[in-house]
Amino acid sequence: MFEAGQISLAVGDRVRITKNFTSSQGKKLCNNSLHKVTAIDVGKITLDETEIVLGAKGLHTDQGFVVTSHAAQAQTVDEVIVSVPVEAFSQANEAQFYVSMSRGRQAMHLFTDSKIALREAVTRPSGRLSPLELINSEEIGLLQSASKYLRSFRNGEWQRQKDQEPGMER
């Protein structure tokens, strides 16, 4: 979500565009694209030789030295640093891990606080799971029994069973 604010920039800094727009020169700058600040003047900034006049709306940018793996899709860089702490394992799977680790040309660095648990997390299939697939088989059995019991009330079977078997209560 966009939040208006200010960031300090200097010539040589990398920035990430956070909303598609067209420069005053007609060049399109795309969301998640990375650019180098090549000049800063009063009321304008130059990114990779594209001059941008700063208006009242501001410029949708952020620092360009950290990018999420989702934002990095279809991009390749020289070096990748991936941090996957235990708290993030619920979002880790084989597809996300592949995207994160395959962005680098020359080097990949992975940081985690549990190598064994990370191995398990990133070998999970990336397909979306239904709620029943997320719970274990014992819980599924309990849910199926409860569902069958509730259906018996709806279908009037409970009343028929009560009438047929005196002394049996549920």
Farthest CA pair distance, the chain: 92
Instruction: Please give the pLDDT value at position 37.
Output: 92
3-state SS, the chain, equals CCCCCCCCCCCCCEEEECCCEECCCCCEECCCCEEEEEEEECCEEEECCEEEECCCCCCCEEECCCCCCCCCCCCCEEEEEEECCHHHHHHCCHHHHHHHHCCEEEEEEEECCCHHHHHHHHCCCCCCCCHHHHCCHHHHHHHHHHHHHHHHHHCCHHHHHHHHCCCCCC
Instruction: Please give the pLDDT value at position 164.
Output: 57
User: In the block, which residue shows the tokens 């088989």?
Assistant: 137
Mean pLDDT, consecutive 10-residue stretches, the chain (170 aa), reads: 78 89 85 88 88 78 75 76 85 82 87 88 73 63 72 63 53
Instruction: Please give the pLDDT value at position 86.
Output: 87
Instruction: Please give the pLDDT value at position 170.
Output: 45
Single-letter amino acid code for the residue at 55: G
Instruction: Please give the pLDDT value at position 120.
Output: 85
